[in-house]
Amino acid sequence: MYDNNRFRWSRILFFGILLVAIAFLQSNNFLIFGVKPNLILVALIVFSFLVTDFASYAVLILLTLVMMRSRPGWDLSLVSLGLVGIGSWFVKQIMPGRDSLNLAIAIIFSTIIFYGLIDPNFLYSEWLTSVIEAGYNLVAGFILYYTLKRNV
Rounded Cα–Cα distance for residues 150 and 127 (Å): 35
For the chain, how long is the longest CA-to-CA vector? 46
Sign (positive or negative) of CA dihedral 66, 70, 74, 76: negative
Pair 123, 116: CB distance under 8 Å? yes
Q: How does pLDDT run across 78-125, given as a tens digit for each residue?
A: 999 999 999 999 999 998 888 899 999 999 999 999 999 998 998 889
What per-residue confidence (pLDDT) applies to 18? 83
Of 26-30, 32-36, 50-54, 59-63, the one with minimum mean pLDDT is: 26-30
pTM above 0.75, yes or no: yes
Pair 68, 110: CB distance under 8 Å? no
Distance of CA 67 to the CA centre of its chain: 14
Task: Decide if pLDDT at 9 tops 70.
Answer: no
